[in-house]
């Protein structure tokens, strides 16, 4: 079975259907109502200004999450089968994706993990797009080439870095995204007012945390391997990426590598063993690699109100 067939099989197992998605969000009625509650969408007088504002805020947050899911889906899908999202999953007027190709996995377990995560990220895109309906933003322009080169330079890892060159580099590329996704969903949770939306976001956060744990565990198992072409151990490269994220998102030192005090650090937490949060501004600073309004992985910025 080739990776594409495996991806389809994984999606089938998860029973990703429009009906199941909408049931998760209360039969879709909540989002349908939210769409009608947007300012300027009718004058029947049944929705007051407070509920309009609440609905708009929730939609903005979900679209912010959708932008991040587009990025992760494109990264993993291209690594698994050499092709990204289909046009119907990217939305009308979707931006172009630069870079990315199929990874020549040599470790079957790594390939299987990548296939599973790719299926999850595709499901997240479809889930959010279906739930948002006409309010869903299309995929923004995404750069999976120059962005990694810029990140490598900023992290002191050399002039270029190709996460699709081999399975070890792929894991480093995945590490760039996964921890950010967990902190982004946790930070955005406080912005959601609809409990159905909050429950769905919590479910996605949990999956992203599983992904992050997988990637961090695999990298830890390779921590003493010297990465080809870079001449530094995997543990050192991971720490350089962690430091880069920490510098990009502003003051404070919360991001963590895969070791702490010489011991395994698979689950980065605060002193209370609680996962860290990032504000939308902090997430954008990392995604834009320090750019203002655009740059990095999103050369033209995100689509939607939060960008």
Span 134-182, pLDDT tens digits: 999 999 999 999 999 999 999 999 989 999 999 999 999 999 999 999 9
Q: pLDDT per position in the chain (307 positions), as tens? A: 555 555 555 555 554 444 444 444 444 434 444 443 333 333 343 434 545 555 788 999 999 999 999 999 999 999 999 999 999 999 999 999 999 999 999 999 999 999 999 999 999 999 999 999 999 999 999 999 999 999 999 999 998 999 999 999 999 999 999 999 999 999 999 999 999 999 999 999 999 999 999 999 999 999 999 998 899 999 999 999 999 999 888 777 789 999 999 999 999 999 999 999 999 999 999 999 998 899 999 999 999 999 9
pLDDT tens for 252-285 read: 778 999 999 999 999 999 999 999 999 999 999 9
d(CA 292, CA 302): 12
**Sign of the CA dihedral with 304 first, then 278, 116, and 297 last:** positive
Going by C-alpha positions, the residue among 1, 69, 61, 44 that lies closest to residue 208 is: 69
Is 0.75 surpassed by the pTM of this model? yes
pLDDT of residue 294: 96
Strand duo 142-143 + 259-260: pairing: unpaired
Rg of the chain (C-alpha set): 19
């Amino acid at each position: 079975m080739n990776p594409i067939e495996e991806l389809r099989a994984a999606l089938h197992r998860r029973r990703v259907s429009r009906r199941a998605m909408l049931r998760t969000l209360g039969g879709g009625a909540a989002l349908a109502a939210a769409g009608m509650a947007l300012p300027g969408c009718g004058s029947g007088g049944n929705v007051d200004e407070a509920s309009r504002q609440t609905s708009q805020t929730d939609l903005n947050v979900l679209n912010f999450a959708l932008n991040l899911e587009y990025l992760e889906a494109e990264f993993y899908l291209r690594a698994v089968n050499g092709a990204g999202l289909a046009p119907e999953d990217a939305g009308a007027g979707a931006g172009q994706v630069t870079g990315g190709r199929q990874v020549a996995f040599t470790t079957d377990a790594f390939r299987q993990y990548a296939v599973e995560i790719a299926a999850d990220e595709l499901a997240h895109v479809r889930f959010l797009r279906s739930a948002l309906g006409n309010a869903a933003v299309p995929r923004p322009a995404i750069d999976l080439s120059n962005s990694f080169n810029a990140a490598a330079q900023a992290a002191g890892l050399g002039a270029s870095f190709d996460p699709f060159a081999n399975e070890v580099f792929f894991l480093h590329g995945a590490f760039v995204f996964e921890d950010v996704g967990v902190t982004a969903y946790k930070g955005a949770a406080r912005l959601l007012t609809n409990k159905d939306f909050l429950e769905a976001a919590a479910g996605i956060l949990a999956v992203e945390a599983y992904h992050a744990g997988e990637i961090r565990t695999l990298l830890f198992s390779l921590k003493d391997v010297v990465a080809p072409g870079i001449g530094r151990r995997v543990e050192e490269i991971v720490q350089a990426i962690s430091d880069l994220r920490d510098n990009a998102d502003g003051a404070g030192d919360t991001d963590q590598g895969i070791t702490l005090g010489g011991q395994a650090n698979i689950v980065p937490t605060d002193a209370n063993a609680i996962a860290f949060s990032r504000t939308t501004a902090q997430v954008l600073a990392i995604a834009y690699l320090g750019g203002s309004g655009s740059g990095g992985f999103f050369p033209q910025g995100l689509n939607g109100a939060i960008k």
